[in-house]
Chains A and B, each alone.
Chain A
Amino acid sequence: MSTRPSRRQLALGATVVIASLAVVETTVALVAPALAPSEADWAAAAAAVRAGFRPGDLIAAAPTWADPILRQHLGDLIPAEVAARMDDDRFARLWEVGQRGAHAPDAPWGAATVARDERFGRLRLRLLERAAETVSYDFAAHAADARVTRRDATGATVECQPAGERVSCPGAASVLLRRQLVEVDQKLRQALLTEPMSRAVLAIEFPAVPLGRALVIATGLHDTWMRKAARGTVAARLVVGDQTTALPLTTDDSGWTRTRVDTSARAGQIVPVRLEITSDNPYDRFFAFAAEARQ
C-alpha cells in the first residue's frame, strides 16, 4: 500500500496551510501596530536616561532607524559631534534604547558589561559599560593647526595659505579645508573636508600630535550627489613621524573606512602627522577624514 499522499490530500493540506497563513497574516497585521513603542514608553525611557546620564556618555537607538525619535526625547544630550561621531571607541558608557530585539553593534559593544537592563513598555533600556580609549588628539578639532602644502609632479613643494574655509596654494586653485558635518555613505560624520588637487599631492600636516597607542583615521567621500556625479578615486597615505601607512583607496562605494595605525612604540611622543592626498580625477571629489590619537 502506497504511503504517498493522494492529490486530494495534498490539495486539502494546501488549503489548511493557506487558511492558517491567512489567519496568521491577518492577526499579525492587526496586532503589529500595538507592538511599536508608545510616546509614554519613550518618555519613561528618556527620564531614566536623564537620571543616570554622565557627561561623555553615548546614547543610541537600536535599531538605528529609530534615532530621530531618540533625539526628539534626548537630543539635548546628543550634540552634533556625538551624533556624527567617527566611531564608538572613545565612549565608556552607552545608553542603548532598543526595541524589537535590536542591539548596538558588536564592535565595540559586544564585550561590554550590562550595568542596567530595564523595560519601558516596548522599549528596552540597557546601560553598557566598557573600558574606552582615551583621545589624546582629535584632528578635526585642531583644523586650525594644520599646515597645507602642495607638491607637483616635478617634486616642487609650495606652502599654501589659509583663506577662510579654504587654503590657497600658489599656482593652483584653492581647495576646501574645513571642519564640518559631512555625509559619507548616507551617514553624518564630524570630519575635516578637503579636495584633492589636480596632478599634485596635497599634504595636510599637524605639526605636534601627542601620540598614544594608536592613531585611528577614517576616510570617505562626502555628498551623495557628488558621488553620483563623478567616479574619480582618492589615494591617501598617513605619515606619522617617519612611519608611513598607505590608506585604503577611497572610492564612491568604499563608505566610511577606518584604519588603525599602531603607534604604541612612540606612545607619549609628540610628532608631526601628515596626510598626503592624491586623485586620478579630482573633479567633484570631496574627501572627508576624521582622525584621533588614542591612549
Chain B
Amino acid sequence: MRRPGLTPGRLDWLVTAVLALGTVLWLLGVEGRQGIGRDEAQYFRAGERYWGWFSELADNLEHGHPGRSFTASDIDRYWSDNAPDHPVVMKVLYGISWRMFHTCHCMDATRGFHPVAIRERHTTLPLFARESTAFRFPAILFAALLVGMVYRFARGWLPRGPSAVAAVLTLAQPHYFFHAQISCFDAPIAAMAFAVGFGYWKSLRDPRWGIATGVLFGIALGVKHNAWLIPFFLVPHYLWMRRGDLRARRLPRVPLVFVAMLVLAPPIFLAHWPWLWVSPVARTRAYVLRHLEHEHYNFEYLGFNFNQPPTTTKMKWIRATAPFVETGLTVPVTTLALAAIGAGVLARRRRGSAVQPESREAEAPTTELSSGLRASWLRPGADVDRAPGAFVLFQTLGPLTVLAVPSFPIFGGVKHFLAAMPYLALLAGIGLAALGRALAEALPAARARWRPAALAGLAVLVCLPALVETRRSHPDGLGHYNLLAGGFAGGASLGMNRQFWGYSVLPMLPDLDRRVPENRRLFWHDTLSDAISMYKRDGRLSLEVGDTGFGEEGIKRSELGILFYEKHWAKYEAWFWQYYGTTRPVYVRAREGVPMVTLYGRGR
C-alpha cells in the first residue's frame, strides 16, 4: 500500500535528498581531520582575495562609481591571484562561503593573516567554527550534488536499491573521498563532468537538455581545465550511437547539445573570469598554454619517481599503465568486481532492449511511440538505440586513457581521472542489479517475502567494504591502497605514492605546538605558508610558531623540522642529517606502520 502523497517520483527525490544530505554530513563530520595541501592553501587565499573584489564592488556601487571595480588595475589587484592557473567558479564559491559562514575572529590577533585587509568584524551566519570549513563547504556540496546525480541517473536504468548503492559507492572511494572534502577542483570537476554527461544523455531525446548542457559545460570550463576533455568522450559515443548514418554514408546530424556546448560555453567561460576581461585573447591563450605546457611534478608510481616524460620504451609502457593500475589498486575491490559484472551486463545487452528489465528508460528508438515527435538534431537519440554501454564505456575509460599517454603529467595520481569514478560506481550498481535479480529468482516462491530483505542485505553487504575502507583511509586517503595492494603497507611496498603537497602534517600540529621554544624556528618543508596561516586562523596552531622558509637555507636556520615522505625529497633528509647532526627523528607520524611525516630536532 502506497502512503498517500509519496509518489515514486517524490520517493526518488527523498532518496536523492537523503543521499546528498548524508554526503554533506559525513564530509563535514570528518573534514576537520584533513590537512591543508599546497594547492588548497592557495585557493583559500585566492577565494578570499576574489571576495575582496566583490566587497570593493559593493563599496563602489554604494559610492556611485562602480566602474572603478572594472578597471584593469582593480581587476588585476584581486583576480591575478592564482591566474592563469585556474578559472574561478570554485574559488569564488569558496570565498563567498567563507564570507557567509565563518565564525569571525577577524579583528583579533589573526587579523594580519588575511590576504586582504580586514577593516571590521564580519557579520556572518556562523555555521562553522573553523574558517577552513567555511571555505570547504562548496566543494562538499558539489560532492553531494554528484552523489545525488548518480542516483538520479542510475534510476533511469536501475531499481532504487542498486541506484542508491551506485551513489554510495561513488562517495565511498578513499581517493575520491579525500578530494571531496577539500576546497580544490578535482572533486567538483568530477561532479560537473558527470552533470554534463547526464545532460548530454538526456539531450538525446529532450532538446531542453541540449540547451542546459551547453550552460553546464560552460560552468564546467570555469571549474577546471579537465572540462576541455569532456567533448572527446561524448563525441565518440554520439558517433557510435549514430553509426547507422556512417554505414549509410551520410554524416550524422550535429546535435543541438554540441551546438549549445560550442555556442554557450565559451561566453560563459569568458564572462565568469574577470581576469580574462582585461585582455581576453592573450590571457585565454596564457591559460591554455599554462596547462598544455604544464611541468611534470614528481610522483611515485611502482617504485619509480616520474617527473618528466619517460624516454625509454620500458618506462613508457610502465607509465602508460598508471591510471589503470592506480584505479585497480585504489578503488575498493568489491566495487571493482561489481563494476566488471555491470560492464558484462552492458556488453551483453541486445540493441534496443533496456539496460535492466526494470529500467524506466527505454533504449529502443522512440520515434514511433512518442506522439508525433520526430528524430532530428534536437532529439538525435530518438530514432536509434542510445547505446548505453558505449556511453558508460567512453565516460569511464576516456579519462583513464588520456592519462595513460606517457607524455602527460601524472603528478595528481587518481585525482586526474576522478571523472571516471562515478561511472565506475554506476557500473557497480548495474552489476548489483543483475545479481539481485538472480538472487530474487533463486528464492522459491514460498519464500518470496524474503526477497526484499535478501536484496537489501546484499546491497548493504557490497557497500560495507567501501565504507569501511574509506573510513580507514581518512585522513590519509592518498596513501591508502585496496585489498589487492595490501592497504597502506602494501602500497608502500609496491612503491606507490603516499601523499603530496604537505597536507598530512595536521595530526602533528598539537605536538609541534607544544615544542616551545624550538618551534619558533620550525622548518615546514612542503607545507605552504598560506596553509600555516590557515592553521593559525583556525586556532590549531599558536601564532608564535615560526617558519624558517623553504629549501636548504630553511633547514639551516631551523631548530625543528618536518620532512614529508616522498621519494624526491630524499636530499632534504640528507640536509637534516648534515645540519642537525643526527639521523634519528624525534617523531615519525605513520599510518599502519608506514611513515608519512618525520620530525627532526637539531642536536637530538
Contact = CB atoms under 8 A, between A and B. Distances in A.
Contacts of A72: 584-588
Given A11-B438, A253-B315, A18 B338 contact: yes
B91 to A, nearest CB: 29
A67 B441 CA distance: 55
A170 interface: no
A156 interface: no
Contacts of B441: 8
Interface in B436-458: 437-439, 441-442, 458
B601 to A, nearest CB: 11
A37 B462 CA distance: 30
A65 B585 contact: no
Interface residues of B, number: 58
Interface in A7-41: 8, 11-12, 14-15, 17-19, 21-26, 28-30, 32-33, 35-37
Contacts of A63: 492-493
Contacts of B594: 36, 65-66
Interface centre among B308, B341, B435, B598 (most CB of A within 10 A): B435
Interface stretch (A77-85, A207-215, A267-275): A77-85
Interface stretch (A158-166, A180-188, A241-249, A257-265): A180-188
B442 A8 contact: yes
Interface in A27-85: 28-30, 32-33, 35-37, 63, 65-69, 71-72, 74-76, 78-80, 83-84
B61 to A, nearest CB: 49
Given A36-B489, A223-B571, A18 B435 contact: yes
B585 A75 contact: yes
Given A8-B438, A22-B462, A33-B472, A84 B574 contact: yes
Nearest to A186: B567
B124 interface: no
A195 to B, nearest CB: 16
Size bracket, chain A contacts = 35 or more
B195 to A, nearest CB: 30
B464 interface: yes
Contacts of A84: 574, 577
B492 A25 contact: no
Nearest to B441: A8
Interface in B548-589: 565, 567-568, 570-571, 573-574, 577-578, 582-588
A4 interface: no
B469 A25 contact: yes
Interface string B155-187: 000000000000000000000000000000000
Nearest to A25: B465
B318 to A, nearest CB: 12
A76 B578 contact: no
Contacts of A199: none
Given A102-B493, A224-B571, A253-B312, A80 B583 contact: yes
A30 to B, nearest CB: 6
B438 A12 contact: yes
Contact of A186 (B312, B482, B570, B592): B570
Given A68-B565, A68-B595, A15 B435 contact: yes
9 contacts: A11-B435, A21-B465, A22-B465, A66-B594, A68-B585, A72-B584, A183-B574, A186-B568, A225-B568
Interface of B: 296, 298, 305, 307-308, 311-312, 315, 332-334, 337-338, 341, 431, 434-435, 437-439, 441-442, 458, 461-462, 464-465, 468-469, 472, 482-483, 487, 489, 492-493, 565, 567-568, 570-571, 573-574, 577-578, 582-588, 590, 592-595, 598
Give 10 closest A-B pairs by Cβ, nearest first: A75-B584, A11-B438, A36-B593, A25-B465, A181-B574, A183-B571, A186-B567, A36-B592, A68-B595, A65-B492
